[in-house]
Structure 1
Amino acid sequence: MSKPPDFMIIGAMKCATSTLHEQLAIQPGIFMTELKEPNFFSDDDQYAKGIEWYLSHFESAPVGALRGESSTHYTKLPTYPKTIERIKQHRPDVKLIYVMRHPIDRLVSQYIHEWTQRVISVDINRAIAKHPELIEYSRYSRQLEPYFEAFGRERVLPVFFERAIKFPQQELDRVCQFIGYAGQPVWDTQLSAQNVSVERMRKSNWRDFLVEAPLLSDLRKQFVPKNFRNWAKSLWTMKKKPELQPEQIERLKAIFDEDLTVLGSWLGLELSCDNFKAVAQASPPNWVNIASAKSSPKV
């Protein structure tokens, strides 16, 4: 049986975890699963496949390589309530990486993603009431607290999305130091960003068949003008970035500022929606009072 992972990127959703996954995967001596989001410990249908199925994703790891995976479902409470107890059971000493971005920006990005997947079909302002997970997944302290209780703060590395975008090499160095990587990691600027979602197209099985079918390719090029193809494509594309109503923004700020106050107390930072990006870029975050990690403040 293959060895279990040494570390996991546990979220948050829409915080460039795919980019970090790919950057780690190209470092010699680090192995990342080809299936980027196994979601084994979160999704009941995946967990039912058994631990041997999960470990099979690490079979091709070179001897001595650090092994990792990335599953943002692992920080999607309350959607997946059994995640932490399952990780604790199978991998109690795993190291965990959690990436955070401005909570409203993350919410909007998730909304766009869910719109393309046809999970959400209503305007963003209506979606917030209809889909409470949009808010819940941006409540970072609520997502993290049970991990602290189960594993201790010393096993969770906080990463700010905004700082990783501004100082990618420094943050990659910090991640690699945390997971115990002995090499000198290099951030590859040629890898395309994995977090671009505004221009995504909505799912459509029959459209994808018509667009991707090899036998139809020549026919499309010969008989369908390009401007018409572009027009047809636009029918499934989000025309502009979703706009939150001013009163909705104020409501979200009140919700997230409460959560950020707790998060900031753990980091020794003054955090709010208004200053989040500036503070996030200023310095790499580390939990304060690591010695008392098991007595983390309640949310």
Structure 2
Amino acid sequence: MNKKPDFLIIGAMKSATSTLHEQLALQSGIFMTDLKEPNFFSNDEIYQQGIAWYLSQFQDAQSKDICGESSTHYTKLPTYQHTIERISLHVPDVKFIYVMRHPIDRLISQYIHEWTQRIISININQAIYEYPELIAYSQYSFQLQPYFDTFGRDRVLPVFFERLLKYPQTELERIGKFIGYQSEIKWHDLSAVNVSTERMRKSEWRDFLVEAPILKQIRKSIIPQVVRDRIKSLWTMKEKPHLTPENIKHLQLIFDQDLKVLGEWLGVEINCQNYKQIVNDFSLNW
């Protein structure tokens, strides 16, 4: 009989959840699904594959392993409306890890991601008004409140992206304690480089030309590197998108209201201006 997950990394999107997933997968006695972002409880088309399909993702786990998976879609309200009721139905005793990042930084990173996926093609200063999910996914108390209502605060561990980068070993130990890991836990240097501002837009025909073995060899033999780099730049975001001062103020007003609630839960006063100082200086919990 396949095991069930003991914990879920539920987000937030673009907050180093993939890195945390990889770090936990490297620990002996912790099993993380090979499939990153199963999105079983959030996406209707995946949920329809059935609980047996989902549990098969844990079929290689050992009997004593602590099991987890990571799906940032689980904190994407209002996009996915049925996530929490499905989790409550199938894995009611599971624990949750929620990684937060400065809300504006996270929004910008999501915009870059959506640009590369050709979901968004307009300027970021227009996008924040036409794609409300950019803001919603950075409203952390809004995303967490339903989890608290259903499972209780003690089942959710708050983790902060900035603190995870600054104190990786300490934060990993804290996460290990939360999920009940008894062995020594160690942060590994994966030498990961964030190249989000250099990501290339999706293009099926370009990807075919680039990856086809014969064409790849011809391309490397005939076309000079400088020309290849120039062509590549046509699909590449040249620089990090910049919000106007007016839109930064607009976003700060929205996020400060949400952070006020988050701060009340954490016992600190937190807003967009002091966010990084607070999360770096204090190990915060409910």
* C-alpha distance in 2 between matches for 1:273 and 1:64: 42
Give the equivalent residue in structure 1 for 2:208.
209
1:63 to partner: Cα distance: 2.2
Residue 219, structure 1, aligned to residue 218, structure 2: yes
* C-alpha distance in 2 between matches for 1:199 and 1:88: 39
Give the equivalent residue in structure 2 for 1:250.
249
Q: Contact 2:125/2:247 (CA < 8 Å) preserved in 1?
A: yes
* Ranges in structure 1 where 5+ consecutive residues have no aligned partner: 288-299
Q: Contact 2:3/2:61 (CA < 8 Å) preserved in 1?
A: no
Give the equivalent residue in structure 1 for 2:67.
67
Give the equivalent residue in structure 2 for 1:268.
267
* C-alpha distance in 2 between matches for 1:153 and 1:87: 16
* C-alpha distance in 2 between matches for 1:265 and 1:222: 61
* C-alpha distance in 2 between matches for 1:213 and 1:277: 45
Give the equivalent residue in structure 1 for 2:10.
10
The alignment's TM-score, normalised by the length of structure 1, stands at 0.94
Give the equivalent residue in structure 1 for 2:149.
149
Give the equivalent residue in structure 2 for 1:296.
none
List per-residue Cα deviations over 1:39-83 (Å, max 9, x = no partner).
000000000000000000000112210000000000000000100
The alignment's TM-score, normalised by the length of structure 2, stands at 0.99
* C-alpha distance in 1 between matches for 2:176 and 2:118: 36
Secondary structure, counterpart of 1:207 in structure 2: helix
Give the equivalent residue in structure 2 for 1:136.
136
Aligned length: 286
Would the alpha carbon gap of residues 196 and 285 (structure 1) be closer, same or farther in structure 2, given more than 3 Å must change? farther
List per-residue Cα deviations over 1:169-207 (Å, max 9, x = no partner).
0000000100000111110013425x5411111000111
In structure 1, give the amino acid aligned to 2:107.
L
Secondary structure, counterpart of 1:182 in structure 2: coil
* C-alpha distance in 2 between matches for 1:175 and 1:69: 14
Give the equivalent residue in structure 2 for 1:82.
82
* Ranges in structure 2 where 5+ consecutive residues have no aligned partner: none
In structure 2, give the amino acid aligned to 1:16.
A
Residue 165, structure 1, aligned to residue 181, structure 2: no
1:284 to partner: Cα distance: 1.4
Secondary structure, counterpart of 1:99 in structure 2: strand
Give the equivalent residue in structure 1 for 2:95.
95
In structure 2, give the amino acid aligned to 1:118.
R
Residue 190, structure 1, aligned to residue 190, structure 2: yes
Give the equivalent residue in structure 1 for 2:237.
238
List per-residue Cα deviations over 1:1-27 (Å, max 9, x = no partner).
311100000000000000000000000
In structure 1, give the amino acid aligned to 2:32.
M
* C-alpha distance in 2 between matches for 1:31 and 1:215: 39
- 182-191 or 45-54, which deviates more: 182-191
* C-alpha distance in 2 between matches for 1:176 and 1:213: 43
Identity %: 65
In structure 2, give the amino acid aligned to 1:46.
I
1:116-127 residue pairs with structure 2 within 5 A? 116-127=116-127
Would the alpha carbon gap of residues 191 and 5 (structure 1) be closer, same or farther in structure 2, given more than 3 Å must change? farther
Would the alpha carbon gap of residues 222 and 196 (structure 1) be closer, same or farther in structure 2, given more than 3 Å must change? closer
* C-alpha distance in 2 between matches for 1:274 and 1:90: 40
Give the equivalent residue in structure 2 for 1:286.
285
* C-alpha distance in 2 between matches for 1:101 and 1:277: 9
1:230 to partner: Cα distance: 0.3
1:129 to partner: Cα distance: 0.7
Cα RMSD between the aligned structures?
0.8
